[in-house]
């Protein structure tokens, strides 16, 4: 069984393998954006990697991981609300550029503010790009238990400022296309549910 703790470990090698395009075998179909949102440790990175692995035989796929974006594209931004919104704006811009060229884009970032996510959705819709919000929901108790680095405990102790869900707000989606209860669902079940929605909407073909 795959654990829900990928985001708390150093999995750069696995992510790199997961995001490589499928090459000539990829289905040349319309690109789309899967926007995974939720608190730290909810399983965004884990699920995006596993979904990408299932999509690769059928699509060119890329993952926009929030931590990696922070280290490169958004280096220098802090964690104030304006900086967080700018970070999401940049991720959304890259996601649209990739999806425009037929790539299945999986964005895994906390993206705490509803307005920011809705802006990405609106701009994607203006270009005819399907946008599906995937809300990764888990209780604080479970998130703390998964947190091998102890970030939540430090935030609760006041040692980490601007920590989303503790000292900074998180605005959950009001009507996400997909709701994942990662504190009660297995990774495998969640992957199957995401793929089923994509197939229902004609965004991917059933696995052979």
Would you say 42 is a known binding-site residue? yes
Would you say 203 is a known binding-site residue? no
Would you say 23 is a known binding-site residue? no
Q: What's the N-to-C CA distance of the chain in angstroms?
A: 22
Q: What are phi and psi of 149, to 5 degrees?
A: -90, -10
- 107, 111, 182, 190: the catalytic one is 111
For 11, 47, 73, 94, 151, the CA distances from 132, given in Å and listed in that order, are 25, 14, 23, 16, 29
Q: Look up 111 and say whether it is catalytic.
A: yes
Would you say 52 is a known binding-site residue? no
Would you say 167 is a known binding-site residue? no
Q: Which residue has the tokens 């989303």?
A: 164
8: helix, strand or coil: helix
Query: From the CA atom positions of the chain, what is the Rg in Å?
Result: 16
Would you say 149 is a known binding-site residue? no
> In this structure, what token pair is assigned to residue 144?
């703390």
Q: Which residues are catalytic?
A: 111
Mark the binding-site residues, compressed into ranges.
38-45
- Binding residues for ATP, by number, are 38-45
């Amino acid at each position: 069984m795959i654990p829900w703790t990928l985001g708390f470990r150093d999995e750069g090698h696995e992510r790199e393998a997961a995001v490589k395009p499928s090459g000539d075998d990829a289905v040349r179909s319309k690109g789309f954006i899967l926007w995974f949102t939720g608190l730290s440790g909810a399983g965004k990175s884990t699920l995006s990697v596993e979904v990408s692995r299932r999509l690769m035989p059928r699509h060119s796929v890329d993952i926009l991981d929030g931590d990696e974006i922070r280290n490169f594209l958004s280096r220098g931004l802090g964690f104030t609300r304006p900086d967080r919104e700018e970070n999401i704006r940049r991720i959304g811009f890259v996601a649209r550029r990739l999806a425009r060229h037929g790539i299945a884009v999986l964005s895994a970032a906390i993206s705490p503010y509803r307005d920011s996510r809705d802006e990405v959705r609106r701009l994607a819709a203006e270009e005819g790009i399907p946008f599906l919000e995937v809300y990764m929901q888990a209780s604080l108790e479970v998130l703390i238990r998964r947190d091998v680095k102890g970030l939540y405990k430090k935030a609760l102790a006041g040692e980490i400022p601007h920590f989303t869900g503790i000292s900074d707000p998180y605005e959950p989606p009001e009507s996400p296309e997909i709701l994942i209860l990662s504190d009660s669902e297995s990774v495998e079940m969640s992957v199957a549910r995401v793929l089923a929605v994509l197939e229902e909407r004609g965004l991917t073909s059933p696995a052979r």
